[in-house]
Amino acid sequence: MSPSMLLQLLVSGLASSFVLLLTSLGLVIILGYMKVVNLAHTEMLMSGAFICYYVYQAAGLPFIVALLVAFAVSFLFGALVERLIICHFYGKMSETLLATYALSILLKQAALLLLGKNYKKVDYPVKTVFQWGPVYLESYKLVVAGLAILSLLLTLLFIYKTKTGRMIRAAMQNRSMTESLGINTKKIDTITFAYGMGLAGLAGAIIAPLSTVTYTLGESWLTNTFMNVVMGGVSSLFGTFASSVLIQESVSVISGLSNSVTAQIIVLLVVIVVVRLKPDGLFTAKERR
């Protein structure tokens, strides 16, 4: 492998890292702060991508509007789901897995039956391609990276700097204590779950131009996002960031040596080994504060 090719692989690997980070953020919030395994997460990605298609591509509204609509709709849907379904199964692992899996089937089949099997293509909102010497990068991937970092920062701000965020953390650490302080933990749960789902929808909308938008978009992310979150340490946002980079850079470089599927298989297997050796996640060093 030539150095310039390696450089290209590293750059596109880094770009994919931000995509993986973005698609995992909502999951890590819900898993980390609520201990809920949300198997419907990736179907929310798919829904967000569809929203982006209809608002931006079909209706021709500005891209940013599509993102906001995707976040808002997913947030509201998440709140509804938490109130109607999730709240009944806290602490029951099998039931939560089954219920969120049922939800994921419903979302996927609804998308298929209502919106059809056809692939939908979403245009890049920005179309330039940068070139530095031998290295190419679509400018939209830079936008995605920026949006991923922005989402991460806003999430950190939300969790660490707002009153609601403080309550979310308090509820995670000691539920009964938080309740005894007169805080409505039910409402906190709803907000946390809704926020996680909102992030998933937003991520789906952001990655829509990079993907073929169809009802199977969600399941193609299932393994990657979950393994990413598990490796990063389920409640660590920075851990998720770090493991996103690690995973996608490895996939990118290894696929340069063989092919992308083999690379995926190898990296996922390595991730499982890592999880076995460090069950609490690879990056569980204390977050700030």
Partner 1 sequence: MPLLTKVRQLPVNRWIDLALFLFLLTFPIWQNTYWVYIMSGIMAYMIFALSLDLLWGYTGLMSMGHSVLFGAGGYMIGIASAWANQADWIKFDQLPWFLAILSQPLGAFLAALFLPGLIALFIGLFMFSGKIRGVFFSLITLALAGISELFVINQSRYTHGDSGITVTSRTLFSNSDSQRLTDQQFYFVVLAFLLGSYLLCLWLVNTRTGKVLQGIRENESRLTYLGYKPAAFKLFIFMLSGMMAGLAGMLFVRVQGSINHSAIGINLATLVLVWVAVGGRGNLTGALIGTLLLQFSETKLNSVFSGISADFAQYWKLVLGLLLLLIVFVIPKGLIGVLLEQQQSRQGRDRKAAIMRKEVHSHDANP
Tokens coding 128 = 């330039």
**Interface segment toward partner 1; rule CB under 8 A; list 7-15, 85-93, 167-175, 239-247:** 85-93
CB of 98 to partner 1, least distance (A): 5
Nearer to partner 1, 88 or 166 (CB): 88
Among 90, 154, 262, 285, binds partner 1 (CB under 8 A): 262
Nearer to partner 1, 22 or 229 (CB): 229
**Interface segment toward partner 1; rule CB under 8 A; list 99-107, 124-132, 147-155, 241-249:** 99-107
User: What's the burial of 172, exposed, middle or buried (CB within 10 Å: 0-12/13-18/19+)?
Assistant: middle
Give the count of residues interacting with partner 1 (CB under 8 A).
Answer: 42
Among 161, 176, 277, 288, binds partner 1 (CB under 8 A): 277
Q: What is the 3-state secondary structure (H, E, C) of the chain?
A: CCHHHHHHHHHHHHHHHHHHHHHHHHHHHHHHHHCCCCCCHHHHHHHHHHHHHHHHHHCCCCHHHHHHHHHHHHHHHHHHHHHHCHHHCCCCHHHHHHHHHHHHHHHHHHHHHHHCCCCEECCCCCCCEEEECCEEEEHHHHHHHHHHHHHHHHHHHHHHHCHHHHHHHHHHHCHHHHHHCCCCHHHHHHHHHHHHHHHHHHHHHHHHHHCEECCCCCHHHHHHHHHHHHHHCCCCHHHHHHHHHHHHHHHHHHHHHCCHHHHHHHHHHHHHHHHHHCCCCCCCCCCCC
Nearer to partner 1, 151 or 235 (CB): 235
Q: 131 has which bridge partners?
A: 136
Is 94 among the residues that bind partner 1 (CB under 8 A)?
yes
Is 110 among the residues that bind partner 1 (CB under 8 A)?
yes
- Of residues 137-156, those binding partner 1 (CB under 8 A): none
CA angle (57 as vertex; 60, 43 as ends), nearest 5: 135
Q: Report the amino acid identity of residue 75.
A: F
Is 37 among the residues that bind partner 1 (CB under 8 A)?
yes
Is 99 among the residues that bind partner 1 (CB under 8 A)?
yes
Among 14, 68, 268, 274, binds partner 1 (CB under 8 A): 268
Is 219 among the residues that bind partner 1 (CB under 8 A)?
yes
Is 250 among the residues that bind partner 1 (CB under 8 A)?
no
Binding track over 222-241 against partner 1, x by CB under 8 A: xx--xx--x-----------
Nearer to partner 1, 4 or 109 (CB): 109
**Interface segment toward partner 1; rule CB under 8 A; list 1-9, 66-74, 173-181, 260-268:** 260-268
CB of 113 to partner 1, least distance (A): 6
CB of 92 to partner 1, least distance (A): 8
Tokens coding 129 = 């391609």
In a 13 Å sphere around the CA of 209, the CA atoms on its Cβ side amount to 20
Binding residues vs partner 1 (CB under 8 A): 37, 85, 88-89, 92-95, 97-99, 101-106, 108-110, 112-113, 219, 222-223, 226-227, 230, 259, 261-262, 264-265, 268-269, 271-273, 275-277, 279
